Amino acid sequence: MSRIKEFNLPDLGEGLTEGEILAWLVKVGDDIELNQPIVEVETAKAAVEIPAKWAGRVQAIFHPEGSTVEVGVPIIAIDTDPNAGPIEESTTAAPASDLPAPSAASLAAVEVAPAEGMVEPGLIGGVAPGGRTAVLVGYGPRNAPAKRRPRKGDVPAQPAAPVQAAAPAAPAPAAPAPVAPVPATAVNGNGRVSGPVLAKPPVRKLAKDLGIDLATLTGSGPLGSITREDVQRAASATATAAEPQPVAAPAASAASFGADREQRIPVKGVRKLTAENTARSAFTAPHVTEFLTVDVTRAMKALDRLRDRREWRDVRVSPLLLVAKAVLLAVKRYPMVNSTWAGDEIVVKEYVNLGIAAATERGLIVPNIKDAGRLSLRELADAMTELVQTAKSGKTSPADMSGGTLTITNVGVFGVDTGTPILPPGESAILAFGAVREQPWVHKGKVKPRLVTTLGLSFDHRIIDGELGSKFLRDIGDFLADPEAALLAWT
């Protein structure tokens, strides 16, 4: 009797489809107890620890930290009787790395717990690679190819693909099995662009049960909706055709410009959000961008003096801190830049939630410092340090990212001079802070090497005209050119 059990990522909320592995709390070879926390997973709703379902020894971990896993996909294999000697099936050869794909052999060794092991009767293919098992609660992982249940009276001619996939001799996939293989029928035959498909719920259910992708059908019902007859016609067509999908074999050695040399990355998570936000902002707010090059030598010296002070010894002091201060002071002088276009009115905010764009492993995120205008320089420095650390560790909460009113993007850290930033939705100004470089500069009538940077300010022309935007940018520049004088003059 097999003793290796694979644990599938469950639906941790209600109707969630995926989760991100934040941290593994165990490693291969560890002995674990029942209900011992093994992994921390973040979903759209919460970051939670998952307790071990079985006691035993960790046999394999299938997904590294940081990866996003679909619900229903195995994430860990546990040897439930590690002291019973070696495992008969040759899984021992497999895990050279900590992250093997579930191999065919290990799958064969998987014992499916009785309650979840009831393979739906009549289901073609049985357990698919990846150990897909029946769903108990929630809304159902879909990690197996669309399953076709044969209707009574059908010729037992079955679609080729799923059967092959289930054949025990199928080689183990080299990489973790793709989580949502597209059923063969989904490959678009008639060139229709996918979009919302009109069909009544019972028709959708029928199509699902028959393994028909509605997106491939042309509806004959009202408003082009797909009818029961459309689905049944498609089902009988696929049953008789049983066509293997023609895979265009790449020409032997000729340069190919086809799919085999293209990578397709699903758009989701932070990338999706960034795409939506930037596109929305770029095509609704009329952007104007202005530039200003400033000699920041004095400001850099001021920073050095700050660092030397005893009470600032343990504080992280960066040029960005001064830029933030400059922006906050300038906002006080020109409050209109800290506003939102709300259609028939302009909402000018007395508080500044200062966004700092941060490049993280998860992608671009823009957490903000709440009510930054009220913070002292020291408090601002601490807040920025914390914000960056939180962002780097991937623990920025949605609350940290919402409600921003004005943003700084520090593109200088990437070694470029400046940029034309795109406004975060709902904000009307964003400042790009370029690299600080030593450059020839006219200083007191002579060309001297000075520390120089370029600021780029984008603003929403619906609210901010050139005059106001220029004055605001000029003020930021004045502060950075001579912070002490600006502080004396303005505060």
**Closest distance of CB 207 from another protein, Å:** 13
Q: Which tokens go with 320? A: 């960005």
**Closest distance of CB 397 from another protein, Å:** 6
Exposed, middle or buried: residue 298 (CB in 10 Å: 0-12, 13-18, 19+)? middle
DSSP result, 60-109: EE-S-TT-EEETTSEEEEEES-TTS-S-SSSGGGS-SSS-----HHHHHH
Minimum CB distance to another protein smaller for 141 or for 181: 141
**Closest distance of CB 52 from another protein, Å:** 8
For residue 366, what are the contacts with CB-CB under 8 A and spacing of at least 6?
355, 356, 357, 358, 401, 404, 407, 424
Q: Are 327 and 480 in contact (CB under 8 A)?
A: no
Could you list the residues that contact another protein (CB under 8 A)? Answer: 7-14, 34-35, 45-51, 53, 113-115, 118, 121-122, 134, 136-138, 149-152, 154, 209, 397-399
Q: Which H or E element spans position 201?
A: helix 201-210
Q: Are 443 and 295 in contact (CB under 8 A)?
A: yes
DSSP result, 385-451: HHHHHHHHTT---HHHHSS--EEEE-GGGGT-S---PPPPTT-SEEEEE---EEEEEEETTEEEEEE
3-class state of residue 278 by DSSP? helix
**Closest distance of CB 111 from another protein, Å:** 13
Minimum CB distance to another protein smaller for 53 or for 378: 53
Q: Which tokens go with 473? A: 């940018």
Minimum CB distance to another protein smaller for 3 or for 287: 3
The H-assigned helical ranges of 334-465 are 377-392, 398-401
234 vs 207: CA distance, rounded Å:
9
Q: Which tokens go with 9? A: 């990522």
The gap from C-alpha 358 to its chain's centroid, in whole angstroms, comes to 14
- The C-alpha angle 276, 181, 48, rounded to 5 degrees, equals 60
Q: What's the Cα-to-Cα distance from 152 to each of 156, 161, 196, 314, 337, rounded to whole Å?
A: 10, 21, 31, 76, 69
Task: Sort strands 406-409 and 429-433 into parallel, antiparallel or unpaired.
Answer: parallel
3-class state of residue 459 by DSSP? strand
**Closest distance of CB 147 from another protein, Å:** 11
Catalytic residues: 461
Minimum CB distance to another protein smaller for 59 or for 454: 59
Q: Which tokens go with 281? A: 């902002």
Q: Which residues pair with residue 19 across a beta bridge?
A: 69
**Closest distance of CB 388 from another protein, Å:** 20
Q: Which residues pair with residue 42 across a beta bridge?
A: 20, 47
**Phi, psi (deg, nearest 5) at residue 156:** -70, 15
Minimum CB distance to another protein smaller for 208 or for 448: 208
Minimum CB distance to another protein smaller for 134 or for 300: 134
**Closest distance of CB 161 from another protein, Å:** 20
Minimum CB distance to another protein smaller for 137 or for 252: 137
Minimum CB distance to another protein smaller for 114 or for 246: 114
Cβ count near 489 (within 10 Å): 10
The H-assigned helical ranges of 289-333 are 297-308, 319-333
Cβ count near 368 (within 10 Å): 25
**Closest distance of CB 231 from another protein, Å:** 13
Tell me which DSSP letter residue 36 carries. -
**Closest distance of CB 86 from another protein, Å:** 28
Task: Sort strands 368-369 and 354-360 into parallel, antiparallel or unpaired.
Answer: antiparallel
